[in-house]
Structure 1
Amino acid sequence: MESSPSRNLTQQLVHDLGKAIVHGKYDVAQSLPSEAEICDQFSISRSAVREAVKMLTAKGLISSRPRQGIRVLPRDRWNLFDTDVLGWILSGKPTLQMLKHFLQLRGAIEPAAAELAAVGATVTKLRNLETALARMKAAEKGLDDPLDADIEFHISILMATGNPFYVQLRSFIETALRVSIRFSNQIKGVQAADYNIHAAIFNAITEGNPADARRYCEEIHKEAIALIDSELVRQEAL
């Protein structure tokens, strides 16, 4: 069992089985080992196994029924908004198409969030956004982590909307950003995101200009999708 000091036995079992399912160790509709077999394999109690099965069922990865056992469900049943499921997918080798799908979702969420932030962000939320932008500037000089700074900026925009539904997307967006930003920067051959376009978003939000805030956000997403499309074309030509 892959151990982590931050997880109890049930959580660890959920992590190990969930990751194995997502990475294709078990085929769709294939039966997983029985509860008794899992107990023996992982040296864990039956009650812990049953709790783990319930958690994986809630994530859409498996079904568990009497006389049918524990079966893996098709990918379209998986809860991709669950940060564990998304994290397991991204911890492997996510396809370019998967990254593109995520960017398309970001493109529907973040420009609208920037627009809302420009209309109604509080002074405190604007200060948080300013702090995140300052981190990005520091990262350009090698004084901060460029990935963490970039993620904080995008999450700060969600938080600045004041809309609880956008705020609830924080963990999901943060999990996927860690892969998509790293991939985009790798293709561009840079260590950090473009500070100037992020500063433009910040200025538009602080100046109460929702149209520009949306437009600059859309520019970031369009560029990222164009990069993935070009890489898809390149790979198809190989």
Structure 2
Amino acid sequence: MTQQQSGGAADAPRAADSGRVALITGASRGIGYGIAEALVARGHRVCLTGRGEEALQDAVEWLGAGRAIGVAGKAHHEEHQAEAVARTVEAFGRVDYLVNNAGTNPVFGPIADADLGAVAKVYETNVLSALGFAQQTYRAWQREHGGAIVNIASVAGLSASPFVGPYGMSKAAMINMTMQLAHEFAPVVRVNALAPGVVKTKFAVALYEGREEEAAAGYPLGRLGVPGDVAGAAAFLLSDEAGWITGQTLAIEGGIFLNAGVG
């Protein structure tokens, strides 16, 4: 992966609040890596998590020595959550920011036919892991020192979406969890969410592969998203520039909701 492939977020100017530390889940590629790249460009250091050790180490190498570490594991395992937070604090002395990006979507089709075990797995990864990481980060550092959390939700959590109902339901739960955490963690920790539309990543490839032009035609801005579109918004919500914003969900969706009710 190159900076160009992730949307060029690493070229952004550094913010005044540089020198902080972020833990980013599901960050060996795609949106998570794009956010890591954007934060490193702003002078921050990062801990990346993901399931694949080799992919994580490649991502750490791309970000540069001393700027990143990787901790492999399954996001919904409490032991992995605790280890990732502990190793972040051990390596960098702090953990100011958390980005809950890890997610899964193995269930496609009508929810009337959905396997409930598979739906439970979606919630386990997309909701419970995010809550677990938020708890661990808050207890280890943020409760005493402050910080910010950004949850990566989806436009599927803001409206009904054909064929990905369980995924959208889990992201709706994440959006509500964002508000709940924002209320409980205030005033020391801000918590917000981003709700991307279709972003060109391996995770979403089934939604546009072989039909990108057709998929993009539904977006008023005329294209699908790239990781850098989400990364810039995440970097802003984590920064002091967003110091009076909490409990909000920002849709990053190329204007797709402008088409609601049209036709």
TM-score band w.r.t. shorter chain: under 0.3
* TM-score normalised by structure 2 residue count: 0.23
* TM-score normalised by structure 1 residue count: 0.25
| Larger proportion of strand | 2
| Larger proportion of helix | 1
